[in-house]
Amino acid sequence: MNRLLIDTDQSECYDTFGQKVPCEGSGQDGERRTVPSDGERFQVLSDTVSDNWTGLTWTRTACIPDGLCDFESASLLAEKLSAENAFRSPRRLPTRWELFSLISHQIINPALPHDHPFTDVSPVYYWTADSSARLHDEAWYIHLGGGRIYRGKKHGSYMVWPAIGPAPCQDPSLPRFFVDHTLVHDRLTGLIWLQDLEMTRAVKWHEAIEKGKSPPLCRV
């Protein structure tokens, strides 16, 4: 079953000055790490890879012929790959969250989990299927070197890494948010948030961590 939000692979914790500290009691992501153990996440199926963590399937190689192109050509290339694989699941550009689901929060160059089985991954930008909602001549892409997400002009040239299978869909008949007393439920992610932030000033990172150590309302 696909999960819109996934846990990160962050396994170490740091103080304000970037020095490593014990994760126990830190309130950081590394303390709550619940990712599968090494070797359990990815399954290689010939020239494809199944991600048991998210339910997504990818081409094993992240470098396909003519894969450096503009946004329109990237979409056409995905259609071409689907036509060439008529008796198999369609190839397509991944959504922004799908491509980001592969990103490691612990490793760079490439920013993929250390036990990943992919080949020919370049530390450059890769297209997603998502256009910018505000600037329609731009689309979102992700840097596989450091995991940065950004948007840029669709006439730029970036890499294509196809996802395999039908694109995810959301039920448009339901509103995304609903309020339950003082909590806001997000149907899209499954998260629960406080309706009142109760914040009167900006805080530093270590202060935010301390405030976040209260019983978790944002994880379900």
Quick one: how far is CA 63 from the chain centroid?
19
Task: Tell me the pLDDT tens digit for each residue of 77-94.
Answer: 988 888 887 657 788 999
C-alpha to C-alpha distances, 29 to 13, 82, 141, nearest whole angstrom: 8, 38, 25
CATH of domain 42-164: 3.10.100
More confident site: 78 or 190: 78
The pLDDT confidence band at residue 169, using thresholds 50, 70 and 90, is low
Check: CB of residue 44 under 8 Å from CB of residue 67.
no
Domain residues of the chain, as ranges? 42-164, 177-211
Residue 129 has pLDDT above 90, yes or no: yes
* Whole-number pLDDT of residue 111: 95
Longest Cα separation, the chain: 58
| Whole-number percent of the chain with pLDDT over 70 | 85
Flag whether pLDDT at 217 surpasses 50: no
Q: What is the mean pLDDT of residues 139-143?
A: 97
SS (H, E, C) the chain: CCCCCCCCCCCCEECCCCCEECCCCCCCHHHHCCCCCCCCCEEEECCEEEECCCCCEEECECCCCCCEECHHHHHHHHHHHHHHCCCCCCEECCCHHHHHCCCCCCCCCCCCCCCCCCECCCCCEEEEEEECCCCCCEEEEEECCCCCEEEEECCCCEECCCEECCCCCCCCCCCCEEEECCEEEECCCCCEEECCCCCCCCCCHHHHHHHCCCCCCCCC
Alpha-carbon torsion, ordered 133, 138, 144, 147, to 10 deg: -40
Confidence of residue 155 (pLDDT cuts 50, 70, 90): very high
More confident residue, 84 or 216: 84
Residue 220 pLDDT class (50, 70, 90 cuts): very low
Beta partners for residue 152, in sequence order: 139
pLDDT tier, 8 (very low <50, low <70, confident <90, very high otherwise): confident
Is 80 exceeded by the pLDDT of residue 76?
yes
Is residue 184 within 8 Å of 193, Cβ to Cβ?
yes
In this prediction, residue 94 carries a pLDDT of: 94
41-70 pLDDT, tens digit per residue, is 899 988 899 998 888 999 999 998 888 999
